[in-house]
Structure 1
Amino acid sequence: MLCFETICVENRQWKNLHYHEVRLNKTRRELWGCSDNWDLAKLLDIPSQIDNSTHKCRLAYDKNIDNIRWEPYSIRTIHKIQRVYHDEIDYRYKYDDREALNTLFAQRADADEILIIKKGLVTDSNFCNVAFFDGTYWLTPATPLLPGTQRALLLDQGMIRPAEIRESDIVTFQKIRLFNAMVDWAHAATLDVSLIA
């Protein structure tokens, strides 16, 4: 069983590397009993062919690094979100095996993205954490499937606040925003909640 980190590189600079390092080392401790802490700045090099545009570094690992893949990144356009339901899904760790998530994503009909509801609670989309705007604050589900690195940064900065958000609460909000390691707060897709089917 592998896990992975998706790390953003812009202008040949790592973004939020500390947050990836914290999550990766926590995962290695909890899944494989590793006692050493990896220093990603020392372990990873940005290849010479990577230019100043945005790139995704995908690091797959278990006790050791399994593989590292690089690819250019462009932000997906999201116009509509489909609610999907799974009461047992478990994605506490960023598993390389995304079969359960892919199955849910296949249920999106004509939507571009999904919003996963677990036991009545809002969690995440397929690739992003989410936040809802109530007119004053941006609230993020206290029950994400995966606590993302961008989410951790935004919580530390006070940009978002954790809250229990039930499916029935969605209509009380104005907007939803989707963000992840590759899509920071300023560039995150923001939709009216009426576009959640």
Structure 2
Amino acid sequence: MPTFLETVHVLDGELLHLDYHQKRINDVFQNFYPTSPILNIYDYLAHVEIPQQGSFRARLVYSTQWEFHEFIAYQEKNIKRLAIVNTGDYEYQYKYADRSHLLKKVAEHPEADDIIFSKQGKLQDSSIANLAFKKGDKWFTPKEPLHWGTTRRRLIDEKILEEIDIWETELSDYSHICLINVFRPLSDHHALLLPDAIV
């Protein structure tokens, strides 16, 4: 039985965007545990002591039941250089608790701070985030990402991100790349210049 992970941003005691985490949990149960009652992240966290000051990662591991949780003070990873790697037949559509393959791929590229997965020439995700690419004054995100990211989904719903195929061969069409997740906002300030960021 696979186990899954939700990483929630806790900022000064506030649990951010729980509705999108619940949507992903709903999808996991629909696809993996259709006969089990769906876990409710609101109910679970209502009985947990939440850190009230600072920025924390709330890691919640679950299968058909909640298995454990922990709060880790957030420290941003400094990412400036990205290496493109072949996705192959690896799939990470949902946020599995087992991230060993991702960590192994990152370790294979010491010349970079993180990697970008590319499947048949189409860019997908980094090991820690979904991706956004800027062209002119618009932001685009790969139509076929490696995994279902809550921040990506929210920005699409808010009409801030548009889904398209982003090909390795067309990277020169974009001026910036931004890694987006619950801790990494979409902005010019957090974006990296292209093609300089690719090693």
Q: TM-score range by the shorter chain?
A: over 0.9
Say whether 1:20 aligns with 2:21: yes
Q: What's the offset of the Cα at 1:66?
A: 0.8
Equivalent residue for 2:77? 76
Equivalent residue for 1:7? 8
Structure 1 distance, partners of 2:131, 2:155, is: 11
Equivalent residue for 1:165? 166
Listed one character per residue, the Cα deviations across residues 81-100 of structure 1 (whole Å, up to 9, x for unaligned) are: 11111221100111111122
The answer on whether the counterparts of 1:84 and 1:107 sit within 8 Å (CA) in structure 2 is: no
Code of the residue aligned with 1:64 in structure 2: it is Q
Structure 1 distance, partners of 2:189, 2:146, is: 19
Listed one character per residue, the Cα deviations across residues 17-44 of structure 1 (whole Å, up to 9, x for unaligned) are: 0000010121022112245333322211
Q: 1:42 to 1:188 in 2, by over 3 A?
A: farther
The answer on whether the counterparts of 1:149 and 1:181 sit within 8 Å (CA) in structure 2 is: yes
Q: What's the offset of the Cα at 1:47?
A: 1.6
The answer on whether the counterparts of 1:77 and 1:189 sit within 8 Å (CA) in structure 2 is: no
**Match runs of 1:135-174 below 5 Å:** 135-174=136-175
CA RMSD of aligned residues (A): 1.6
Code of the residue aligned with 1:168 in structure 2: it is T
Over 6 Å off, 4+ runs: none
Report the count of equivalent residues: 196
Equivalent residue for 1:57? 58
Equivalent residue for 2:123? 122
SS in 2 for 1:96: coil
The answer on whether the counterparts of 2:178 and 2:187 sit within 8 Å (CA) in structure 1 is: no
SS in 1 for 2:102: helix
Q: What's the offset of the Cα at 1:186?
A: 4.6
Q: 1:54 to 1:34 in 2, by over 3 A?
A: farther
Listed one character per residue, the Cα deviations across residues 162-187 of structure 1 (whole Å, up to 9, x for unaligned) are: 00111111121100000112223259
Q: 1:33 to 1:188 in 2, by over 3 A?
A: farther
Q: What's the offset of the Cα at 1:115?
A: 0.8
Code of the residue aligned with 1:74 in structure 2: it is Q
Equivalent residue for 2:110? 109
SS in 1 for 2:23: helix
Q: 1:92 to 1:22 in 2, by over 3 A?
A: same
With the length of structure 2 as denominator, give the TM-score of the two structures. 0.92
The answer on whether the counterparts of 2:117 and 2:126 sit within 8 Å (CA) in structure 1 is: yes
The answer on whether the counterparts of 1:179 and 1:189 sit within 8 Å (CA) in structure 2 is: no
Equivalent residue for 2:176? 175
Moved more, 51-60 or 96-105: 96-105
Q: Identify unmatched segments of 5+ residues in structure 2.
A: none
The answer on whether the counterparts of 1:129 and 1:144 sit within 8 Å (CA) in structure 2 is: yes
Residue identity (%): 27
The answer on whether the counterparts of 2:116 and 2:126 sit within 8 Å (CA) in structure 1 is: yes
Q: 1:26 to 1:34 in 2, by over 3 A?
A: farther
